[in-house]
Every structure is written in structure tokens, then in C-alpha cells.
């Protein structure tokens, strides 16, 4: 196993700045040093690595595979330094700590009220909210970017501590004037005639939808149109551009107002669970423990049970 104890933060910063600016002179300007100083740090890091950091056939300072590993380490350290600075600032301002709260994009309709309620109860703890699709949040979890996370099914390849918070139903929504509204027996053949609006690859909602359509369609191809957010999908359904399988939590207002209808298809709603989780091998700060306990204790308020009467008109 390689020993990189001689590697320094100056060397990694020089590498990151060179890749980001595309030149030694650009890196020197960004870091406020001279180009020879950057060159020296890069040479020392290459000696430490025992291999080239850049593709010499490429004039744009593209990193080699080994260079990319050192670049990832530089960015991890930069993130840790930034988080440390935020926590120190919180302590200096009189707060007792801060929490980085990672949330899958479907939960962005729930997370703000959770954070607002917590801040009212604990004004001395700062909560930084980070939102991304499932793939992005899992990558952040792998790199320990978050203290606490809110998501669906926990990833199997990472050891986590998880707390189930409540049901997370997914429904098939259509505009109130859709031809299938009022149809008591909607068949797969009916859905094959429809344009289905779908989240991007990597989204948990997309994976759930694809498994459901595969099951009911027997492998037949549905007409899918990809969109980048739940809000875009919801507004597109309202405009009559298609139908969609989506989290009921993202459209409860429109369902209750009758602007959208959840179509009664056999097998729906798809009910999953919301989970609160954290890395099992990373000790929580006191602030993160308080935040986790607060959400767990108030989960019935934050994740109210949704019944069939909330879905259909």
C-alpha cells in the first residue's frame, strides 16, 4: 500500500487549481503565488505519486487516472475545510453547532418546513440544506458530505443507521379533464396510449416508475418523455402534456384542489418509506444528534399518513 505522508495541502491545491484553470499561470494567479512555485509543487506531488499526474499528450492539463484520484482528494479536503470553517463561524457567532442536511429532490417539498420548525425550536443550531437526486445524494453519502440525510430506501453498499419516518406513496397523476378520469378499470393498454413524463436517470422516482411499468407492461415500450424535476413534471401534467408517476407529497395541494387526479390503476399507489439516516462509521456531532432526534420525535407531524381519499376525487 502506498504511503503518501509526504504529500502536502499546497501540492494538492496546486494540482486542483491547475486542472480548474487549465494552466500553471492560471493556477498561480488563483492561488496568489508565482508560476515556478506551482511547477515546484506539481513536481513534488508527482514524485510522491510515483507516476505522471497529467496526460502529456494533452495540452489542457487533463489529469491521468492517478492524477484524478489526487484531484478527488484535494476536493474532499477543500470540502472538509469549508465545513470546518462554517462550524467554527457558527461557534463564534454563539451557535452550538451546524448540521449539513442532505435531501433527495423529491423531499424538497417536505424539508423546508422541517428545517424551519427545527430552527424555531433550536435557533442556536445552523442547518445547511443540500438537495440532489438519489444518485447525487448517494455519492455525497459515500464521501461523508452530509451529517444527516432524508431519502427513500437506504443504499445497500454503505453501512448506515436509519430511522423509518413514514409512508412515501407514489401515484399516477393526470389533469382533471383527462380521458381516463372516472374510468374504474384502467388497463396497461390504456397507459400504452399515453405519453408518460419521467424523471432523469439516477432519480429514485425514475427507478420506481420503470420497475412498475415493466411489471404491468410485460416488457412493452411506453412512450416516455424525460424531464429534470418533479415541479416541471407536475406543471407539464397540469398543462396536458402527459401523465406521470410521482411522489404524492409533491402534488398534495393540486390533488386536494382537484386540479390533478390520481388514476386508480391496480398496484397503485406504490408505497415506499422515508428514512432518516447517517453513516454508521461516522460519529455524529452533538448538533446532528439533536437534529436527528427532533425529526424522529416529530415525524408524525412532518410525514402525516395519506389515505385513499387524498388520492382520488
Nearest to 272 by CA among 204, 225, 191: 204
- Number of other CB atoms surrounding residue 22 within 10 Å: 13
Contact 191, 218 (CB under 8 A): no
Distance CA 167, CA 139 (A): 24
Average pLDDT over residues 143-169: 95
* pTM exceeding 0.85: no
Domain range summary for the chain, segments of one domain joined by +: 9-77, 94-166+273-310, 168-272
CATH architecture of 168-272: 3-Layer(aba) Sandwich (3.40)
Confidence check: pLDDT of 95 > 70:
no
Residue 271 backbone phi and psi in degrees, to 5: -105, 115
Domain 9-77 in CATH 1.10.10.10? The answer is: yes
SS3 272: strand
Two domains, one topology: 94-166+273-310 and 168-272: yes
* CATH dotted code for 94-166+273-310: 3.40.190.10
Give me the mean pLDDT over the 201-223 stretch. 91
- Does residue 17 have a pLDDT over 50? yes
Tens of pLDDT, residue by residue over 246-269, are: 999 999 999 999 999 999 999 999
Peptide bond just before 269 cis, omega within 30 deg: yes
pLDDT of residue 184: 86
Amino acid at each position: 500500500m502506498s504511503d503518501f505522508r509526504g504529500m502536502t495541502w499546497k501540492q494538492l491545491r496546486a494540482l486542483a487549481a491547475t486542472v480548474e484553470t487549465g494552466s500553471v499561470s492560471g493556477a498561480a494567479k488563483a492561488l496568489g503565488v508565482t508560476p515556478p512555485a506551482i511547477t515546484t509543487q506539481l513536481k513534488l506531488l508527482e514524485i510522491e505519486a510515483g507516476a505522471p499526474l497529467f496526460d502529456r499528450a494533452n495540452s489542457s492539463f487533463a489529469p491521468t487516472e492517478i492524477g484524478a484520484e489526487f484531484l478527488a482528494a484535494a476536493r474532499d479536503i477543500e470540502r472538509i475545510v469549508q465545513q470546518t470553517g462554517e462550524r467554527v463561524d457558527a461557534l463564534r457567532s454563539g451557535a452550538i453547532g451546524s448540521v449539513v442536511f442532505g435531501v433527495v429532490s423529491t423531499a424538497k417539498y417536505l424539508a423546508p418546513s422541517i428545517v424551519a420548525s427545527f430552527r424555531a425550536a433550536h435557533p442556536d443550531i445552523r442547518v445547511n440544506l443540500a438537495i440532489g437526486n438519489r444518485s447525487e445524494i448517494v455519492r455525497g453519502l459515500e464521501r461523508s458530505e452530509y451529517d444527516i440525510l432524508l431519502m427513500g430506501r437506504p443504499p445497500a453498499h454503505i453501512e448506515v443507521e436509519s430511522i423509518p419516518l413514514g409512508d412515501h406513496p407514489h401515484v399516477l397523476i393526470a389533469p382533471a379533464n383527462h380521458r381516463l378520469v372516472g374510468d374504474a378499470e384502467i388497463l396497461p393498454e390504456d397507459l400504452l396510449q399515453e405519453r408518460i413524463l419521467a424523471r432523469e436517470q439516477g432519480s429514485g422516482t425514475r427507478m420506481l416508475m420503470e420497475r412498475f411499468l415493466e411489471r404491468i407492461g410485460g416488457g412493452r415500450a411506453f412512450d416516455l418523455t424525460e424531464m429534470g424535476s418533479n415541479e416541471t413534471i407536475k406543471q407539464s401534467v397540469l398543462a396536458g402534456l402527459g401523465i406521470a408517476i410521482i411522489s404524492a407529497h409533491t402534488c398534495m395541494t393540486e390533488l386536494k384542489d382537484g386540479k390533478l387526479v390520481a388514476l386508480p390503476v391496480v398496484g397503485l399507489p406504490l408505497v415506499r418509506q422515508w428514512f432518516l439516516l447517517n453513516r454508521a462509521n461516522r460519529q455524529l456531532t452533538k448538533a446532528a444528534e439533536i437534529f436527528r432526534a427532533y425529526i424522529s420525535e416529530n415525524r408524525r407531524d412532518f410525514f402525516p399518513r395519506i389515505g385513499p381519499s387524498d388520492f382520488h376525487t
